[in-house]
Structure 1
Amino acid sequence: MLPWKHLLRPLSALLLAAAVTIVPAATATAAPTATATAAADRAGAVAGRGWNDYSCKPSAAHPRPVVLVHGTFANSVDNWLGLAPYLVNRDYCVYALDYGQLPGVPLVHGLGPIDKSAEQLKAFVDKVLAATGSAEADLVGHSQGGLMPRHYLKFLGGAAKVNALVGIAPDNHGTTLNGLTNLLPYFPGAGDLLSTATPALADQMAGSAFLTRLNAGGDTVPGVRYTVIATKYDEVVTPYRSQFLEGPAVRNVLLQDLCALDLSEHVAIGLIDRIAFHEVANALDPAHATPTTCLSAIG
C-alpha cells in the first residue's frame, strides 16, 4: 500500500470529527425523524438476514448468543454485513447494537464517551440474555467495538455475563493514528474540539485518561477469555501491536502469521476478511477450532 493511502482513513476520521461541530441547526432538528426511520429500516433489514432475531434460541452446539459491537463512525448493520451472516450460517444467535450516538448525527455512531457507550452495551446484553434465556454471551467487536466492552467487563459487572471477548483490530492501548494525534499540540484548540465534538476519538488517543484508567492494574479481568485479531497493515490503530493484550486467558493473533498473503487493513479485517472471520469462529468455539490458512478465505 502506498504511504499516502495509510493517511486516508485517519484524515477522514479527523475531518468527520470537525464536521460534527458544524452540523446545521436545521439538520439537528430534523434528524430525530429521519434517524428513527432509518433505524427502523435497518432493523427490518437485519431481522430479514437472521440476526437480531429475538426468537432465536441458542443451540446445544453454540449455547451462547453473540453480540456484535461496531466501531467508530459505524453502525449495527454496515459494520456486520459480512460477519453477521457468516455466524448465522454457522447456527449462532447473533445480535448487534447501535451505541455512542450524537444528537443530529444519523447513521454513524460510536462517537460519544466510551464509558457511556459501555452502559448501552450493558443494557443490550441484558436484553439479549433475557430473550435467549442464556446465562452468558460472547462479544465480538471491531475497532472501538473491541475496546469499549473492556470497560463493561471491568467496571460495570460484565465479567459475570460474558464468556469471551473477541476484538478485531481493537485499539486496546490507544492509537496515534500514524502519528497524526501527535500533531494536536501544535494546533491550539484541536484537542478540545475532539473531546467536545467526538469524545470517543479523544478517549481512544494513546495516553488518554480513559485508557489510563481502563488499563491500570492489568488488561484483563478473571473469568473472561480474550482474543485479539490484528493485521500488520492496520493504518488506524498504530502501532498494530498496541492492540494486543496481556493476561492469563489471552490469545493474540496476527493475520499474516496465518496467511502471509492477507493484505487487509483496519477496515477490511472487520468487514470482509473471511480469514479473520474463521479466527472469530475459532475463538467462539475453541473446542472445535480448525486451522486458519489462506484457504479459509473461501471456506
Structure 2
Amino acid sequence: MRLNLPLLALGTALTAALTTLIAVPGAGAATAYPVTYNVAAANGVMADPSAPPAGANDFSCQPSAAHPHPVVLVHGLGATMGENWATMSPLLADNGYCVFALTYGRNADNPYVGGVMKMEDSSAELATFVDRVLAATGADKVDLVGHSEGTVMPQYYLKFRGGAAKVDKYVAITPIYRGTTLLGIGALITAMETAFPQYAGPLSSGFDQDCGSCQEFLAGSPFLTNLYADGVYAVPGVTYTTIMTRYDELVTPYTSGRLSAPNATNIVVQDQCPIDLAEHVAVAFDPTVAQDTLNALDPAHPLPVPCRLVLPMVGAPAG
C-alpha cells in the first residue's frame, strides 16, 4: 500500500533518531549501496519516487552462478518502485543479485501512484517487464519479491499469462491471496449495495474509476473468484515463501496470506521476533523480513534471522 502517507511527515523529526544501517544481513557481500531499515530515512533519500530504487534496473547486470535468477520487485497499491523498495533493492544488490523493479498500473495523470489499474491489465505490464529482464540477462527464469498488491497481481501473471514457466521463487510480503475484509469495509460496501441496489452500479463504477484494483482485493470479489476457480493458490513449479505480520491493518485477517501446499513456506514475523511490531508498511523496511527474503532466495545458504525492535510505520529505531 502507499508508503508516502501523511505519517511520513514525522520523518523530519524522527530521522535524526533513526539509524541508517550500512551493514546488511548476509556475510561476505561487498557493500555498494547504503541500506536503512526505517521508512522515513529510506524514502527521505529519494529525489524522485518514480525512479528505480538504488541497485535496481542495471540492464547490463549478468547473474552470477551463485544467484542465477534476476530478482524482480513488485510494489504494492498506491506505491512506486522507488518508495516500496528503498530498503530491499540495495540490500539485494549488495548481496550479489541482479535486481529489477517496475512501477505498474499507473494512471497517466499521476506517475507517482502505482497499482491503481485493474490487476488483469497490470499483469500484462509485469509479463512484458519480465520478458525484458530475461532477454537482457540471458537467464531462464526470474525470482519475484512482492509486497501487498505485488503478492496477488503476479498470481494472475503466473496463472493466465504464462508466468509459471518463467518464475522460480516467489517471496510474498503481506500476501493477500484470499482477499481482505479491510476491517469490515468490504462487508459495509456489500450491505450498502444490498440495501440500496439502485446505487450499486454507480457506487462500484465510481470506485473503479479512481482505483480499478481496489475492489478486486476484497474477499469474495469476482477477480479472486476467477483467479482461484481451479482451487490452486500455490502454482506448481513455483516455490513460494509467504511472510505475514500479525499487526497487518490492511490485510485482514493477516492469515489471508497462508498457503497450504508442498511448494509453500509460511512465516509469521512475530513467531521469529516478538518485539517486531511492523504493520503493513514497515515490513518492507524490516531487518527480519529482509533476512527472511535473502534466505528464501538462497535456501542453500540461510543465515540467522535478526530480532530487533521494529515500530509501526517507522521501522527499526536507533541502537
| TM-score, normalised relative to structure 2 | 0.76
Q: Once the 2 structures are TM-superposed, how far is the Cα of residue 181 of structure 1 from its aligned partner?
A: 2.0
For 2:263, which of 232, 236, 249 is the aligned residue?
249
Distance of aligned partners of 1:54 and 1:42 in 2 relative to their CA distance in 1, 3 Å threshold: farther
* Alpha-carbon offset, residue 295 of structure 1: 5.4
Supply the AA of the counterpart residue of 1:228. Answer: T
* Aligned residue identity for 1:64: H
1:210 to 223, 238, 242: 223
Where structure 2 has 5 or more consecutive residues not aligned to the other structure, the ranges are 6-46, 194-198, 311-315
DSSP 3-state at the match of 2:300: helix
Is this contact kept in 1: 2:275–2:309, CA < 8 A?
A: no
Taking every aligned residue pair, what percent have the same amino acid on both sides?
A: 48
Distance 2:165 2:217 in 1: 25
Find the counterpart in structure 2 of residue 111 from structure 1: 116
**Partners in 2 of 1:140 and 1:222 — Cα distance?**
17
- 2:248 aligns to what SS in structure 1? coil
In structure 1, how many angstroms separate the alpha carbons of the residues matched to 2:237 and 2:225? 22
Is 1:219 aligned to residue 233 of structure 2? yes
Equivalent-residue separation in structure 1 for 2:253 and 2:245 (angstroms): 10
Q: CA 1:260–1:41 in structure 2 vs 1: closer, same or farther (change >3 Å)?
A: closer
Aligned counterparts of 1:173 and 1:194: Cα–Cα separation in 2: 21
In the alignment, what sits opposite 2:88? 83
- Contact 1:275–1:296 at 8 Å: present in 2 too? no
Shift of 1:105: 2.4
SS in 2 for 1:252: strand
2:101 to 96, 114, 135: 96
Displacement of 1:213 in angstroms is 1.3
Q: Structure 1 residue 103: deviation in Å?
A: 3.0
Q: Conserved in 2, the CA contact under 8 Å of 1:218 and 1:246?
A: no
Counterpart in the other structure of 1:269: 283
Per the alignment, residue 15 of structure 1 pairs with none
Distance 2:134 2:94 in 1: 21
Compute the RMSD of aligned alpha carbons. Answer: 2.1
Who is 1:228 aligned against? 242
Cα distance in 2 for residues equivalent to 1:129 and 1:243:
28
Q: How does 1:12-51 map to 2 (within 5 A)?
A: 46=52, 49-51=54-56
